[in-house]
Amino acid sequence: MRKEQLIRICLAMLLASTTLLLSSCKKDKDPKDKDPKEALVNTRWKMATDLPGLDIDKEIGEVSGELRFTSQTEGELTAAIKGTKLTLSVTYSYDATQKAYPATVKIGDDINHFILKVNWDTNILIAYELEAGVVIPKPIMFFTLVK
């Protein structure tokens, strides 16, 4: 092999490795620019208890929580109420007709159904309870996106 060929091969390998490195450093898209089925993946949401007009039941006391989405169908809800911390698995999907995410949370033997709606302009996720397949219009939880 001649010296010139060796230099060309080395330059080609350098170019290929640089291209791979740069493509792996590329930042993720903003969630609102992604396909809705993928938009929630790898996002973290903090329970909002201080939004104007939000009426948290005083009997519940100090409440905090976080919602994480780990894949296109799964996530987890961590909530702390009166010093007790609970982590629950969340299963969800995207429903294009509702432009929302039907979700289920299992607590013991009970399965609770919710609709999650996201406003990407304000980065607020709102959870509505589903009862017998009907959405209860009063939101039950609010979350803000953690960047």
Q: Which CATH architecture has domain 31-146?
A: Beta Barrel (2.40)
| Span 109-118, average pLDDT | 94
- Helix or strand run (H / E) with residue 20: helix 3-25
The contacts found for 119-122 with CB under 8 angstroms, 24 or more apart, are: 120/30, 120/31, 120/32, 120/39, 121/32
| Span 15-21, average pLDDT | 58
Average pLDDT over all residues of the chain: 82
Looking at the chain, the whole-number percentage of residues with pLDDT higher than 70 is 72
pTM above the 0.75 mark? Answer: no
Q: pLDDT-derived band of residue 43, with 50, 70 and 90 as boundaries?
A: very high
Say whether pLDDT at 24 is over 60: no
CB 76 within 8 A of CB 68: yes
pLDDT value of position 26: 47
